[in-house]
């Protein structure tokens, strides 16, 4: 037996409207953000690509301490105009922080950071002592 359920469209509209009111009541609410990372490795280095669209490279801080790389920054909400009522505000703003611990020793002095079209690419060279070496056998 199939049960029928009556849906009041006004109730759905009221729920939708309440969602807007909740967002409008907290327009300055800050969020903790996370940034997406891709981490890869080859013989010589680790490569980290972070998605940071709309963030100025000047607002990103990269630090390296005890084999732990940290990327942090802040996304500003932009200039809020007075007497503006938002109907929808989906773009998030606030601070973000991501840390990566490397399993092997890296050369912190040679880390390079490049920014292009919202992608931050970090090249973290491995330390010479952890790179594979070929040992030549000498004949006497």
Least confident of 37-41, 46-50, 78-82, 116-120: 78-82
CATH topology of domain 31-78+91-129: Immunoglobulin-like (2.60.40)
Which pLDDT does position 107 carry in this prediction?
92
Least confident of 28-37, 54-63, 92-101: 28-37
Q: Is the pLDDT of residue 27 over 70?
A: no
* Residue 111 to residue 126: CA distance in whole angstroms: 10
Q: Is the pLDDT of residue 96 over 50?
A: yes
- The length of the chain in residues reads 140
pTM of this prediction?
0.67
What does the domain layout of the chain look like in residue ranges?
31-78+91-129
Q: What is the mean pLDDT of residues 25-51?
A: 80
């Amino acid at each position: 037996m199939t049960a029928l359920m009556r849906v009041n469209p006004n109730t759905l509209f009221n729920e939708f409207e309440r969602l807007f009111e909740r967002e409008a009541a907290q327009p300055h609410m800050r969020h903790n953000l996370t940034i997406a990372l891709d981490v890869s490795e080859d013989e010589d280095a680790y490569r980290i690509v972070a998605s940071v669209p709309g963030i100025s490279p000047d607002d990103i801080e990269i630090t390296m301490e005890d084999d732990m790389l940290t990327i942090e920054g802040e996304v500003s909400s932009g200039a809020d105009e007075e007497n503006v009522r938002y109907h929808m505000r989906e773009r998030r703003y606030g601070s973000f922080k991501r840390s990566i611990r490397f399993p092997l020793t890296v050369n912190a002095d040679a880390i390079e950071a490049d920014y292009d079209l919202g992608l931050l690419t970090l090249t973290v060279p491995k330390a010479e002592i952890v790179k594979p070496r070929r040992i030549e056998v000498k004949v006497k």
